[in-house]
Amino acid sequence: MKKFLFIICIFIPSVFCGSRPSFVTDEMIAMAASVVNACQRQTGVATADIEAVRNGEWPESRQLKCYMYCLWEQFGLIDTKGELSLNGMLTFFQRIPAYRAEVQKAIRECKGVGKYLANGDNCQYAYTFNLCYAKISPKPVPEEFLDVQPTIRAACVKESGIPSEDLINKAAKGEFTDDPQLKCYLKCIFDQFRLVSKRGINFDAMLALSPPSMKESAAKMIKECRETKGKEGDLCDLSYEVTKCLYNSNPETYFIL
């Protein structure tokens, strides 16, 4: 359990807020909070710098960089070579199997980049790795959709006939391939939630389905995308164009099942 909590400390605001994924227990939160406090005291990092990272900003302070390495040490994520433990990171994504291969690839890429750019500086290594990871890893699915995500993905992969989940995982990062099967996969996702019909996309229902923590950003995204058009009579193409619009409106909030 300890090996993946450092991700909670860095990337998941629920350490300090009310909502959190169902698989994050009270014990995990207490342990994470204890480690955060210990590493803050040890490094002198400002709380504002930690919060900035959670909001997608990366201050270049030395204290923040050493705080990140402190988390690695506290959670036992350093292997015998003094490098980041890949297995510990992957443990976090056991509950999101559709992203596991993508995350594994991201970790492997960032591990080498971080070590190379750090030039022997452990604090810089932790900071560079975490920054790389944040940029290229897929966004986690919100808690409200975690239980249904594997079932829906499997059903829509089958229905659309999409040959590889690579296209889906790329779309999760904003890389939209102009592929008819990907388009129909996205249409299937909308259809699973009764969000698409011959009349088009039901944006009001989409807003109603959005998690409470995302209501404000979802309302803005939907407002910007209501007038999006696809090829006439092609709901797959419409779903594709709407999904691209939603991503472009707010890449930080956007996710894909």
Residues 6+ apart with CB under 8 A from 48: none
Instruction: For the full predicted model, state whether its pTM sits above 0.75.
Output: no
CA dist 79 and 1 (Å) reads 16
Compare 95 and 11 and report the one with higher pLDDT.
95
**Model pLDDT for residues 81-132, shown as the tens digit of each residue:** 777 776 766 665 555 555 566 667 767 778 777 666 667 788 888 888 888 8
Q: Residue 76 pLDDT more than 90?
A: no
- For residue 5, name the pLDDT band (cuts at 50, 70, 90): very low
Compare 151 and 185 and report the one with higher pLDDT.
185
Amino acid (1-letter code) at residue 233: G
CA dist 98 and 65 (Å) reads 31
CA dist 131 and 128 (Å) reads 5
Looking at residue 137, its pLDDT comes to 65
Q: Which has the closest alpha carbon to 205: 192, 194, 216, 215?
A: 194
**Mean pLDDT in the chain?**
77
81-117 per-residue burial string, b: 16 or more CB within 10 A, e: under 16 = eebbbeebbebbbebbebbeebbeebbeebbebbbee
The answer to whether residues 164 and 177 touch, using CB atoms and an 8 Å cutoff, is no
**DSSP tag of 16:** T
CA dist 189 and 156 (Å) reads 7
**Model pLDDT for residues 186-229, shown as the tens digit of each residue:** 999 999 989 998 889 999 999 888 888 778 888 999 999 999 99
Q: Residue 30 pLDDT more than 50?
A: yes
